[in-house]
Amino acid sequence: MAAFTKVLLLLLFMLQVISTFEQATPKGGLAMPGCQEKCGNLTIPYPFGIGKPGCYLDEPFRVKCNSSTKVATLPYFYDVTIYNISSDSIIINAYGSSVVYNSSSGKNLEKGDVETVGYELLQPHFSISHTKNKFVALGCDIFSFLKDFRSGSIITGCASFCVNKDRLESQPNFSSCSGYGCCQTPIQTKLGDYFVSGAHTMNTDNTTWSRNRCNYIMIVEKSFDKFDEIKCRPDFTIPSAVDWSIGNLSCAKAKQRICGHNAYCANSTREGYLCRCSQGYQGNPYLPSGCQDIDECENQNENICPKNADCVNLQGSYYCSCRQGYRSDLSKSSPDGYTCIPDHERRMLVTLICVGVGVGISILILVVAGFWLNRKLKKMKLEKTKERFFKRNGGFLLQKQKPTSNRGSVLEMKIFKTEELEKATDNFNQSRILGKGGLGTVYKGMLSDGRIVAVKKSNKVNEGQVGQFINEISILSQINHRNIVKVLGCCLETEVPLVVYEYISNGTLSQHLNNNNTNSSASPLSWTHRLRIGAEIAGALAYLHSCASTAIFHRDIKSSNILLDENYRAVISDFGLSRSVHIDRTHLTTVVGGTFGYLDPEYFRSGHLNDKSDVYAFGVVLAELLTGQKVISSNTSDEGLAIRFKTSLKQKDGLFEILDRAVANEGGEEEIFVVAKLAKRCIKLNARKRSCMMEVATELQRLARTNGKDLQRRPNGFEDSYFSSGVMSFDYSSGPISFDYNLDLSIDKTM
Contact (Cβ atoms closer than 8 angstroms) between residue 85 and residue 42: yes
Over the Cα atoms of the chain, what is R_g? 58
Rounded to whole angstroms, how far apart are CA atoms 498 and 443?
A: 10
Rounded to whole angstroms, how far apart are CA atoms 415 and 490?
A: 5
3-state secondary structure of 613: helix
Question: Which domains are delineated in the chain?
Answer: 92-244 (no CATH), 395-502 (3.30.200.20), 509-740 (1.10.510.10)
Rounded to whole angstroms, how far apart are CA atoms 132 and 84?
A: 13
The pair phi, psi for residue 147, each rounded to 5°, is -135, 130
Amino acid 207: pLDDT: 56
Q: Which residues of 494-510 are buried (b: 16+ CB within 10 A; e: fewer)?
A: bebbbbbbbbbeeebbb
Rounded to whole angstroms, how far apart are CA atoms 556 and 576?
A: 8
Tell me the catalytic residues.
Answer: 556
How are beta strands 62-65 and 49-50 bridged, if at all? parallel
| Cα–chain center distance at 731 | 61
Rounded to whole angstroms, how far apart are CA atoms 495 and 457?
A: 10
The pair phi, psi for residue 245, each rounded to 5°, is -155, 170
Which of 11, 130, 145 has its CA nearest to residue 69?
11
Which of 500, 499, 474 has its CA nearest to residue 398?
474
Contact (Cβ atoms closer than 8 angstroms) between residue 453 and residue 424: yes
Q: What angle do CA 241, 275, 195 make, to 5 degrees?
A: 35
The pair phi, psi for residue 400, each rounded to 5°, is -70, -30
- pTM greater than the 0.75 cutoff: no
| Cα–chain center distance at 751 | 74
Rounded to whole angstroms, how far apart are CA atoms 473 and 478?
A: 9
CA distances from 345 to 307, 348, 353, 598 (A): 20, 5, 12, 89
Q: What angle do CA 448, 450, 453 make, to 5 degrees?
A: 90
Secondary structure tally for the chain: helices H, strands E: 15, 40
Rounded to whole angstroms, how far apart are CA atoms 409 and 486?
A: 12
Half-sphere exposure of residue 245: CA atoms within 13 angstroms, side-chain side? 23
The pair phi, psi for residue 246, each rounded to 5°, is -90, 115
**Could you list the mean pLDDT of each consecutive 10-residue stretch along the chain, which spans 751 residues?**
44 43 53 91 93 90 92 89 91 71 40 54 77 87 82 85 58 67 86 72 59 74 81 75 85 76 84 88 88 86 83 88 80 62 77 90 94 90 80 69 46 79 91 79 90 83 61 70 86 82 88 62 73 92 77 85 90 72 50 76 82 90 90 69 87 84 87 91 89 90 74 38 32 34 40 53
Rounded to whole angstroms, how far apart are CA atoms 742 and 728?
A: 11
Contact (Cβ atoms closer than 8 angstroms) between residue 47 and residue 56: yes
AA letter at 135 = F
Alpha helices in 160-315 (DSSP H): 167-170
Amino acid 4: pLDDT: 42
Contact (Cβ atoms closer than 8 angstroms) between residue 527 and residue 639: no
AA letter at 562 = I
Q: What is the DSSP letter of 410?
A: S
3-state secondary structure of 246: strand
AA letter at 593 = G
Identify each DSSP E strand in 54-180 by its residue range: 62-65, 72-74, 80-85, 89-95, 97-98, 113-120, 126-128, 133-138, 142-148, 154-160
Amino acid 20: pLDDT: 39
3-state secondary structure of 419: helix
In sequence order, which residues have a C-beta less than 8 Å from that of residue 477 and are 6 or more positions away?
A: 403, 411, 412, 413, 487, 489
Identify each DSSP E strand in 108-181 by its residue range: 113-120, 126-128, 133-138, 142-148, 154-160
Q: Which residues pair with 738 in a beta bridge?
A: 729
Which of 402, 397, 420, 398 has its CA nearest to residue 412?
402
Amino acid 535: pLDDT: 93
Contact (Cβ atoms closer than 8 angstroms) between residue 270 and residue 190: yes
AA letter at 307 = K
Number of Cβ within 10 Å of residue 429's Cβ equals 11
3-state secondary structure of 386: helix
Contact (Cβ atoms closer than 8 angstroms) between residue 131 and residue 261: no
Number of Cβ within 10 Å of residue 40's Cβ equals 11
Rounded to whole angstroms, how far apart are CA atoms 704 and 714?
A: 8
3-state secondary structure of 199: strand
In sequence order, which residues have a C-beta less than 8 Å from that of residue 569 and are 6 or more positions away?
A: 482, 483, 536, 716, 717
Going 215 to 216 to 217 to 223, the CA torsion angle's sign is negative
Rounded to whole angstroms, how far apart are CA atoms 441 and 641?
A: 27
Which of 133, 141, 159 has its CA nearest to residue 238?
133
Rounded to whole angstroms, how far apart are CA atoms 710 and 671?
A: 15
| Cα–chain center distance at 702 | 65
Which of 447, 475, 472, 448 has its CA nearest to residue 458?
472
Contact (Cβ atoms closer than 8 angstroms) between residue 217 and residue 198: yes
| Cα–chain center distance at 438 | 48
